[in-house]
Amino acid sequence: MPGEGNLNAEVMFVGEAPGANEDDQGRPFVGAAGQLLTQAINSAGVQRQEVYITNVVKCRPPGNRTPTDEEIDACVGYLFEELAMVRPKVVVALGNTAGSTLFKLAGRQWRGISAHRGKPVRLIVNGQEVLVYPTYHPAAAIYKPDLRDMFMSDVREALGLVRPRGRSRTLLDFMKGESKA
């Protein structure tokens, strides 16, 4: 499943992989975790359609388990393409899988989400410099309510690092050949 949102977005959110609701609807972050992510984005005065949302792995792993290295490797090319299309200034890594993948692609050591959470770091991913802002996955904030305030605050802070970049442009616009605004 491809990501969705504004191809002119300043901020890209990267999660782990689709869940059951996402698999059913063919859209990223539409279940309970997606609702919390949307709420966090809105709390920063930003609309969901102003950002770009995707996952490292594009297919739901069996049993909704954590993706394997092989599954990540099979999908990382799509993430590279999304990064190249959107050219975000900030990439919010939602959870361990997204954070570890982005750090690995940049040749950096990942020590876990608790160690990196809320600490933006400049990384070169596939030749592109981005500010990666690791935070908890919204599902973690649902299952562990004590993480919710940190998650909400991190999303607001990450979105506050940039200003909106003009007209929204969707994947459909890109496929129609409309140039970047």
| pLDDT tens readout for residues 3-62 | 999 999 999 999 999 999 999 999 999 999 999 999 999 999 999 999 999 999 999 999
Q: What is the pLDDT of residues 112-166, one digit of tens each?
A: 999 999 999 999 999 999 999 999 999 999 999 999 999 999 999 999 998 654 4
**Rounded-to-integer distance, Cα 104 and Cα 25, Å:** 30
**Rounded-to-integer distance, Cα 60 and Cα 30, Å:** 14
> Quick one: average pLDDT of 66-76?
96
> Quick one: average pLDDT of 71-94?
97
**Rounded-to-integer distance, Cα 41 and Cα 90, Å:** 14
Q: Which two tokens stand for residue 166?
A: 């003009």
> Are the beta carbons of 133 and 95 closer than 8 angstroms?
no
3-state secondary structure of 144: coil
Match domain 4-158 to its CATH number in 1.10.3720.10, 2.40.50.100, 3.40.470.10, 3.30.420.130. 3.40.470.10
**Rounded-to-integer distance, Cα 122 and Cα 136, Å:** 18
In this predicted structure, what is the pLDDT of residue 64? 86
**Rounded-to-integer distance, Cα 110 and Cα 115, Å:** 9
**pLDDT over 90 (residue 175):** no
**pLDDT over 90 (residue 167):** no
Q: How far is C-alpha 110 from the geometric centre of its chain's CA atoms?
A: 17
Query: Where does residue 170 rank: exposed (0-12), middle (13-18), buried (19+ CB within 10 A)?
Result: middle
Residues comprising the chain, all counted: 181
| Cβ-based neighbour number of residue 61 at 10 Å | 15
**pLDDT over 70 (residue 172):** no
